[in-house]
Amino acid sequence: MDSTSELGERYMQQKESNKFYRNAYFHSTKEIMQLLSNARFGDFSFWQTLIKPEENS
């Protein structure tokens, strides 16, 4: 879950009260790319498969 996305920000706000997300770590895409680059991975491609928050209401 991208911590900078609208849905990621909403989950982070609810983190303490949600048993599923309480112990989760949310990172931005940029942070994950940096971690993977440091581990010598590269040539990244991304797809998002989650629905928009307003579709999940």
Q: What is the domain extent for residue 35? A: 6-56
Q: Does any domain span residue 1?
A: no
Let me know: does 26 contact 9? Beta carbons within 8 Å: no
What CA–CA distances, in Å, run from 35 to 8, 20, 22? 19, 24, 23
Q: Does any domain span residue 52?
A: yes
Q: Does any domain span residue 51?
A: yes
pTM: 0.62
As a whole-number percent, the residues of the chain with pLDDT over 70 amount to 86
Quickly list DSSP for 16-56: GG-TTTTT---B-HHHHHHHHHHTT---------PPPGGGG
Whether the pLDDT of residue 41 is over 90: the answer is yes
